[in-house]
Amino acid sequence: MHMGFHVAVAGASGYAGGEVLRLLADHPQVTIGALTAHSSAGTLLGQHQPHIRSLADRMLVETTAENLAGHDVVILALPHGASGAIAAQLPEETLVIDLGADHRLESAADWIEYYGSEHAGTWTYGMPELLVEKHNPAAKQRTNLANTRRIAVPGCNVTAVTLAMAPGINAGIASATDLGAVLAVGYSGAGKSLKTHLLAAEAIGSAAPYAVGGTHRHIPEIGQNLRHAGADDFSLSFTPVLVPMSRGILATVTAQLPEDAAAPTTEQLHEIWTQAYAGEQFVQVLPNGVWPTTASVTGANTALVQVAWDAKARRIVAIAAIDNLVKGTAGAAVQSMNIALGLNEHLGLTVQGVAP
pLDDT grade for 1, boundaries at 50, 70 and 90: very low
Work out whether strand 150-152 and strand 124-125 pair parallel, antiparallel, or are unpaired: parallel
pLDDT digit string (tens) for 283-293?
999 999 999 99
Helix (H, G, I), strand (E, B) or coil at 266: helix
Cα separation, 234 vs 236, in Å, equals: 7
Instruction: Please state, rounded to an integer, the average pLDDT across all residues of the chain.
Output: 97
Q: Calculate mean pLDDT across residues 146-173.
A: 98
Task: Give the least confident one: 76-80, 223-227, 247-251, 254-258.
Answer: 76-80
Query: What is the per-residue pLDDT for 81?
Result: 87
336, pLDDT greater than 70: yes
Q: Calculate mean pLDDT across residues 207-211.
A: 97
**Cβ neighbours around 310 below 10 Å, total:** 11
What are the CA-CA distances from residue 171 to residues 51, 159, 166, 269, 355 (Å)?
A: 43, 19, 9, 10, 34
Exposure string of 111-142, with b = 16+ CB inside 10 Å and e = fewer, is beebbeeebbbbbbbbbbbbbbebeebebbbb
Percent of the chain clearing pLDDT 90 (strictly above) = 96
CB 149 within 8 A of CB 312: no
Which residues, listed in sequence order, are joined to residue 306 by a DSSP beta bridge? 319
Query: What is the per-residue pLDDT for 132?
Result: 98
Q: Which candidate in 156, 179, 185, 316 is catalytic?
A: 156
In order of their start, the domains of the chain are: 5-154+327-340 (3.40.50.720), 157-324 (3.30.360.10)
pLDDT digit string (tens) for 103-116?
999 999 999 999 99
Tell me the CB-side half-sphere exposure of residue 286, using CA atoms within 13 A.
19
First CA to last CA distance, the chain: 33
Query: What is the per-residue pLDDT for 211?
Result: 96
Q: Calculate mean pLDDT across residues 220-245.
A: 98
Residue ranges with strand state E in 4-117: 5-10, 30-37, 61-62, 73-76, 95-98
332/260: higher pLDDT: 332
pLDDT grade for 173, boundaries at 50, 70 and 90: very high
Which residues, listed in sequence order, are joined to residue 36 by a DSSP beta bridge? 10, 61
Q: Is 156 a catalytic residue?
A: yes
13, pLDDT greater than 60: yes
The sign one gets for the Cα dihedral 80, 344, 2, 301 is positive
User: Helices in the chain by DSSP H: which ranges?
Assistant: 15-24, 45-48, 65-68, 83-88, 108-115, 142-145, 156-171, 200-203, 219-229, 266-276, 331-340
Q: pTM here? A: 0.98
pLDDT grade for 32, boundaries at 50, 70 and 90: very high
